[in-house]
A and B are shown apart, each in its own frame.
Chain A
Amino acid sequence: MSTVTRFIGRYAIWLYSALAFIFLLVPIVYTIVYSFNDSRRSNIVWRGFTLDNWTHLCDAQGVCQAFGNSIFVGLTATLLATVLGTMIAIALVRYRFRFRTATTLLLFLPMATPEVVLGAGLAAEFLTAGIQKGALTVILAHTMFCVSFVVVTVRARVASLDPALEEAGRDLYASPSQVFVRVTLPLLMPGIIAAALLSFALSFDDFIITNFNSGAFVTFPKFVYTAAARGIPAEANVIASAVFFVAIIFVVASQLTTAARAKRLAREG
């Protein structure tokens, strides 16, 4: 009896998980497939396969402009948030100071606040201060919500850093700044890169906060939202699919290299 139930139990979870993965992938596959749809006006009914949407990407009004804006905002906000967040992460792990708990809380709260509240708050502030909404306000907003995620990601890396390596640098008469640039920073790099990628992904796909603070400035998600009422052009599917492929290739490649390195270490160790 128990072997039978265990047998069923073992394969039930394989079957369930296979179905769960299919469920998770359904809308992704749908979006990619419809990027090849020969749709003239609305991209809802399948009208046959074509590569036109991929080769004439910028034909649809405003898609490429919105995509470019999203890349620009993503890169700027990522740079700002990564610098600010990395500095805070180092301070939090390495130093004891008054208001440390308050600082941690200040970093935690933006992640626990619904986006609609963050967006409305910033919009109210910009309204009161008389700041015109546009690219700048979107960058300021995105940097704000990315900082906390950078701190969380980089802090783990700082905490796992072996202080002996920095001590070795100091023993070899390196100045504090030399130790930082040539020992600390390279060791923190994987964490910093992960944080930067996370920031870019969060900024690139953000809609709610952007919608409150962008005015006439159009990012890619905002383009999709505005177009949703009258039908999304297939070119939007092309951009989303291309971004998806780049991200997936990147993640899988990094996993394969990590696995290969682990194997090599295991063999040598």
Chain B
Amino acid sequence: MAFGAFGGTATAVAEPAVRKRSKVALILLLPGILYLALFFLAPLVSLVLTSFQAPVEFGDIGQYQTAFKWENYTTVISTYGEHIIRSFVFALVATILALLFSFPLAYFIGVTLRRFPLVQALALTLVIAPFFISFLLRTLAWKQLLSDEGWIVTSLSSLQLLPPGTHLTGTAFSVIFGLTYNFIPFMTLPIYTSLEKLDLRYVEAGGDLYASPASTFFRVTVPLAAPGIVSGMLLTFIPAAGDYINASRDFLGSTDTAMIGNVIEANFLVLQNYPAAAALSLVLMAAILILVSIYVKKSGTEDLI
């Protein structure tokens, strides 16, 4: 399971005596399964039903009745197509940037620091440290740091690296920057888990067989880290595509950078256009499921999930 990468220590000591079906298993499973049926599956069904609803005739804003108005889907796709595409482009760019950032860091922690277990543990703590400070506040911190008065913009302008009058916040740059920063730990941890187990003798063998360092890296190290890379890309891409904090106007975005999450939030909580919000949510979920299954198939790691 891709997400098992977070659990870390999935080492089975001995295959325990597996018992056949019994009442005990049923008692153990039933409450949790019922709970998920009620608060995970039923909401999805309710999204499907809501997505086909039509406004009540002569009703107030936010009043809808059961219908089979599948035009809701064509309407949201034509109205918000731009937002949908932007979400996936932003999420993809952020995922690739997070991968480029994380791989050397994960290699450093998992391989270079191997001889110092305590330092290695502390370095891992530094990677997950952003999780311990509020998601919203750390994003706001970047907003202040990247603002026109912040030291980043002022020093880059004085070095003439930025043309005068350039804004960093409220642009595609700052939104992708925020998405990348916020999801880096989701990328670094699974890659670390793969690299930590990397047997360096394989890398040495590559060198012994006259492979250049680059071809050893791409033909030995990267394939051995593949499970971590796949997990990390999924763990980054999925939440990034649905995120609406980074792209929000009050955080790193502007109206020009609105992503699908912002549109769903606005339709549901502000405009009370529940059918549109529901249809968009299902479009997002379907698109993610399709992209993820293609990616998992292509990368040949189906047994991960």
Interface residues in chain A, defined as those with a beta carbon under 8 Å from any beta carbon in chain B: 5, 9-10, 13-14, 16-17, 20-21, 23-28, 30-31, 34, 44-45, 84-85, 87-88, 90-91, 93-98, 103-104, 106-118, 120-125, 127-128, 140-141, 143-144, 147-149, 151-153, 155-157, 159-164, 201, 205, 207-208, 211-212, 220-221, 224-225, 228-229, 232, 236-237, 240-241, 243-244, 247-248, 251-252, 255-256, 258-259, 262
Contact = CB atoms under 8 A, between A and B. Distances in A.
A116 B242 contact: yes
B23 to A, nearest CB: 10
Given A13-B107, A163-B14, A240 B145 contact: no
A17 to B, nearest CB: 4
From DSSP, what is the main secondary structure of chain B's interface residues?
Answer: helix
Interface residues of B, number: 103
Contact of A84 (B32, B129, B135): B32
Interface in B147-187: 149, 181, 184
B43 A124 contact: yes
A162 B244 CA distance: 45
B244 A208 contact: yes
B129 to A, nearest CB: 6
Nearest to B50: A124
Contact of B285 (A84, A108, A113): A113
29 contacts: A10-B112, A17-B104, A17-B112, A20-B104, A27-B133, A27-B181, A84-B32, A91-B24, A93-B16, A94-B18, A95-B18, A95-B24, A106-B37, A115-B239, A116-B265, A117-B281, A121-B40, A121-B46, A124-B43, A124-B46, A140-B39, A147-B36, A156-B8, A160-B11, A208-B244, A228-B140, A229-B250, A236-B134, A252-B125
Contacts of A85: 32
B40 A109 contact: yes
Given A97-B21, A243-B133, 19 more contacts: A17-B109, A23-B181, A27-B181, A91-B29, A96-B18, A114-B285, A125-B39, A125-B43, A147-B35, A155-B10, A156-B11, A160-B11, A164-B14, A207-B245, A224-B136, A225-B136, A248-B125, A248-B129, A259-B121
Interface in B202-218: 213
A13 B282 CA distance: 43
B9 A156 contact: yes
B77 interface: no
A109 B123 CA distance: 31
A164 B6 CA distance: 28
Nearest to A162: B13
Interface in B109-158: 109, 112, 117-118, 121-123, 125-142, 144-145, 149
A112 B305 CA distance: 10
B96 interface: no
A95 B22 contact: yes
B17 interface: yes
A205 B284 contact: no
A152 B20 contact: no
Contacts of B42: 125
B177 to A, nearest CB: 11
Contact of B137 (A31, A104, A147, A159): A31
Contacts of A212: 265, 268-269
B144 to A, nearest CB: 6
Nearest to A85: B32
B292 interface: yes
B25 interface: yes
A148 B142 CA distance: 31
A98 B21 contact: yes
B191 interface: no
A156 B4 contact: yes
B118 A255 contact: yes
A252 B128 CA distance: 12
Given A28-B138, A108-B305, A156-B8, A117 B242 contact: yes
